[in-house]
């Protein structure tokens, strides 16, 4: 018997504990946290990408997106890390991110600065759970509609911007800090012989 998966969703993973530790230190001193996620909580620190003190982190994000662009052999000059913001869920707050996707982002990422509740991803093939004959498996819940990504300091998980995701409530005794990051193709995009379909310069 041969078994293979078709149309899988590719998710990339990187690690940098030093960058995470330095960013966490800065976040704990950051005065610009706002309650923008109502009613689910989760404070945000916006426009991290334009703040000079976080340039070291944006540079590392860019190196990760460079690796992804090379792996996918994307026909663009760069997959630009162009937007980032911080997320803070205080201990015992019960705050969480409801299910969402990142509009205007080709690949997006979650950078974990602390331990805490996981990020979940929703199966994009809705028919697998909602419009299909469902038969339980004796192996347990092997094909549920969610996949969980554990929060580990220094872990950067990158996924297609269209993939719906969220985070579980923070009922842990420690604050949960993450950074969300978006990317967008930049430069000459989709080369066709001696021309291209679009030329777009993306900045931070």
Radius of gyration of the chain (CA): 19
What are the φ/ψ torsions at residue 105 (nearest 5 degrees)? -140, 130
pLDDT at 137: 67
For every one of its 204 residues, what pLDDT tens digit does the chain have, with 9 covering 90 and above? 877 878 889 999 999 999 999 999 999 999 889 988 877 789 999 999 999 999 999 999 999 999 999 999 999 999 999 999 999 999 999 999 999 999 999 999 999 999 999 999 988 887 776 666 767 667 655 455 778 899 999 999 999 999 999 999 999 999 999 999 999 999 888 887 677 787 878 887
Torsion of CA 192, 193, 198, 204, to 10 degrees: 100
Query: In this predicted structure, what is the pLDDT of residue 142?
Result: 46
Predicted pLDDT at 132? 65
Q: Cα separation of 174 and 161, whole Å?
A: 28
Q: What is the CATH number of domain 12-119+150-186?
A: 2.60.120.620
pLDDT for residue 87:
97
Domain ranges of the chain: 12-119+150-186
User: Which pTM value belongs to this model?
Assistant: 0.90
What token pair was written down for 191? Answer: 């080369």
In sequence order, the 6+-apart residues with CB closer than 8 A to the CB of 194 are none
């Amino acid at each position: 018997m041969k078994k293979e998966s078709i149309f899988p969703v590719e998710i990339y993973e990187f690690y940098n504990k030093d960058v995470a530790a330095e960013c966490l230190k800065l976040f704990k001193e950051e005065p610009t946290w706002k309650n923008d996620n109502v009613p689910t909580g989760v404070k945000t620190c916006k426009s991290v990408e334009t703040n000079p003190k976080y340039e070291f982190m944006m540079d590392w994000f860019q190196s990760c997106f460079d690796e992804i662009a090379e792996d996918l052999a994307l026909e663009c000059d760069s997959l630009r890390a162009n937007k980032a913001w911080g997320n803070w869920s205080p201990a015992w707050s019960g705050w969480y991110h409801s299910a969402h996707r990142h509009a205007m982002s080709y690949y997006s990422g979650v950078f974990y600065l602390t331990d805490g509740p996981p990020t979940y991803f929703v199966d994009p093939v809705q028919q697998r759970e909602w419009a299909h004959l469902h038969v339980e498996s004796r192996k347990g819940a092997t094909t549920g509609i969610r996949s969980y990504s554990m929060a580990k300091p220094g872990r950067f998980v990158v996924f297609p911007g269209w993939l719906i995701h969220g985070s579980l409530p923070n009922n842990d005794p420690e604050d949960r800090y993450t950074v969300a990051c978006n990317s967008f193709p930049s430069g000459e995009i989709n080369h066709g012989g001696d021309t291209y379909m679009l030329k777009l310069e993306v900045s931070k």
